[in-house]
Amino acid sequence: MEKFFAYQKDSRVPCKYGRKCFQTNKEHTDKYKHPPTKDDIKVDTKKTTRKRDSKGKVKLSDKTNGESSNGDHGNNEERHNSGETNDMEVPERPEQSISTFNSEPNSISSISNQQSSTEYAVPSTRQHSQQQQQLLLTNNTLEDCSVDDGIVPCTPTLFTPRRLDGETVSSPHVPSSNQVQRFTFVGESQPSHTPDSSDREQPDTSVQNVTDSDYLKTKISELFLVDEMPKEFYDLWSFCKRQCSTHPEDALLSVGLKLVGPYDVLAGRMNGFNTNDIEKTVLHWRYYYDPPEFQTIIASTGSEFHIGYYRDAPLAPPVYVVSNDSSKNCIIQKLGKSLFQALRKHLQSMDSKVANTLQKKILAYEKRKVTDILEGRKCDPVTKTFHKAGIVVPYDSKTDIGYRPLSESEYTLRKLLRTYLEASECKKMEVMDKLQPIINYANIASDECDFGTGFELGIDFFCDGNPDLHRICKQLLVTAYSLLRRPQFATIIKAHLNNRRKGPNMSIL
**Given 95, 222, 448, 456, which residue is catalytic?**
448
Among the listed residues 479, 471, 502, 478, the one whose alpha carbon sits nearest the alpha carbon of residue 492: 478
Distance, CA of 382 to CA of 457 (rounded, Å): 13
The DSSP code sequence of 426-490 is: HHHHHHHHHHHHHHHHHHHHHHTT-HHHHHHHHHHHHHH--GGGHHHHHHHHHHHHHHTT-HHHH
Among the listed residues 289, 293, 288, the one whose alpha carbon sits nearest the alpha carbon of residue 308: 293
8 A C-beta contact, residue 249 and residue 270: no
The verdict on whether 92 is a catalytic residue reads: no
8 A C-beta contact, residue 477 and residue 446: no
8 A C-beta contact, residue 343 and residue 321: no
Q: Residue type at 456?
A: E
Distance, CA of 443 to CA of 113 (rounded, Å): 98
Q: What is the 3-state secondary structure (H, E, C) of 361-394?
A: HHHHHHHHHCCCCCCCCCCCCCECCCCCCCECCC
What backbone torsions phi and psi does residue 278 show, to the nearest 5 degrees? -60, -40
8 A C-beta contact, residue 14 and residue 32: yes
Distance, CA of 122 to CA of 21 (rounded, Å): 39
Beta bridge partners of 323: 307, 333
Alpha helices in 244-328 (DSSP H): 263-266, 278-281
Strands 32-33 and 13-14: parallel
What is the helix (H) or strand (E) element at residue 320, kind and residue range? strand 320-325
CB neighbours of residue 77 within 10 Å: 18
Distance, CA of 63 to CA of 77 (rounded, Å): 9
What backbone torsions phi and psi does residue 335 show, to the nearest 5 degrees? -100, -20
Q: What are the residue numbers of the active site?
A: 448
